[in-house]
Each structure stands twice: as C-alpha cells, then as structure tokens.
Amino acid sequence: MPNRQEWNTVQNDSLTLIGPRLKSWREKRSMTLAELSETTGISTSTLSRLEAGKRAPNLELVVPIARALRLELDDIVPRTALDPRVSRTTKRIGEIQYETLSPESSPVQTYKVTFPANPAGVVAVPDPRVHDGQEWLYVLSGRLRLVLGEQDVTLGAGEAAEFDTRIPHWLAATGAGPAEVLSIFSKEGKRIHLRARPATRP
C-alpha cells in the first residue's frame, strides 16, 4: 500500500496517469463506480472526476481505492527507472584481474576475469579454493584450465562450465596468451551446460 514517503517520490507526469489506471483496475475487477463508492465512502462524482483526470489524486483518495481494488503502489504508479548502468571497478588479486559487471547489492555477482598467460604450463595446483555457492564460467578468449576435485579440464573460447564451489577448485590460463572469462557467482541458480574436453596433463 502506498505510504507518504513513496507518494512524495512520484513525478507529476506519473500523477496524471493514476486516474486512468484506477479506472482500468476497477473495470478489471468488474466493479461499478457505485460499488467502489460504497466500499470506500468516496462519492461517485469524486471517483468519476479522479478517473477522468479532472481531480488531482492524493493519499486520502488513493489509499482507500487501492485497498478496495486490492492494489499495491506499483499497480497504480510505475516506479521511476533507475540508471541501469553498473559502476565498474577493477582490482587485482596477485596477477589475476577482476572487473565488476554487477552492483554490489546484486544477489548474483558477475565479473570479467583475466588470467595471465602461462606459456610454460603449471604442473602443480598450488591453492585449491573451497567456499559456498555455485559458479558459472564462460571463456571469452584464450584457454582456461579448470581443476575441480579429481577432474582436470581445459576450456576454449565459447565454452562454459558450472560447478559447486564447495568442491576444491583452481583456475589458470594455459597457453601462450591470457584467458578472459565471464564469471557469475551465486549461492543458487540454474545450471549451465558444461562443454569441456579433458586436458592433457603436463
């Protein structure tokens, strides 16, 4: 139900849409002006003027109407869309570069990760990681080595992997150039198709 603080954020151009929206919702509920008047205690003439845009909407009118029609604020007034652009930041952990592609408040965190070139190859897996959640990887360019538990796979550009991060895992570029990866991390979510070929162990 709309409160005063939310109402104060409504733009003037949105206010003009409230009357027609209320009329549309009333008709969807198959309710006449007389029935809505009886339920809300607002005269039919006032309701008619409000729906026609001839009466300025206010909380004293809209709240009882919204209750009678079983509506929420979003049903009556479309919220102003926020700037969808993400403020991107870049950080390095060791030689690996992480570029944020989602806001910090998002339940799903997305990064563009660049793993440095590793032309000589790495035989040992120095530090497998374990943490709660699911991770999705999509290789944008280069070749990525993923060690997951007892599995050792190599993914090329255009290949994707999804795995439970509670399983010890380790990632690194393999080959002459760096590997750029789109990484999506969440505690829950749908699985993505895993298409990878076994790596040739050094």
User: Which tens digit of pLDDT belongs to each residue from 121-170?
Assistant: 666 677 788 888 889 999 999 999 999 999 999 999 999 999 998 899 99
pLDDT, average across residues 12-17: 67
Mean pLDDT over the full length of the chain? 82
Fold of 4-76: 434 Repressor (Amino-terminal Domain) (1.10.260)
66 exposure class (CB count in 10 Å sphere: 0-12, 13-18, 19+): buried
Tell me how far apart the alpha carbons of residues 84 and 46 are, in angstroms, rounded to a whole number: 39
User: In which order are the strands placed within the sheet that holds 144-148?
Assistant: 169-173, 144-148, 151-155, 197-198
- For CATH 1.10.260.40, the residue range(s) in the chain are 4-76
Q: What's the confidence (pLDDT) of residue 78?
A: 63
What is the model's pTM? 0.57
The owner of tokens 């870049």 is 90
Instruction: Please count the CA atoms within 13 angstroms of the CA of 25 that sit on its side-chain side.
Output: 22
What residues contact residue 107 under an 8 Å CB cut-off, 6+ apart?
186, 187
Which token pair is 65? Answer: 């109407």
Chain region(s) in the chain for CATH 2.60.120.10: 90-198
The predicted-structure confidence for 30-62, as pLDDT tens digits, reads as follows 999 999 999 999 999 999 999 998 888 888 888
CATH for the 90-198 domain, from 3.40.630.30, 2.60.120.10, 3.40.50.150, 3.40.50.620: 2.60.120.10
Fill in the DSSP letter of residue 193.
Answer: -
Q: Could you identify the residue written with the tokens 């809209």?
A: 62
The amino acid at 90: T
- Percent of the chain, pLDDT > 70? 80
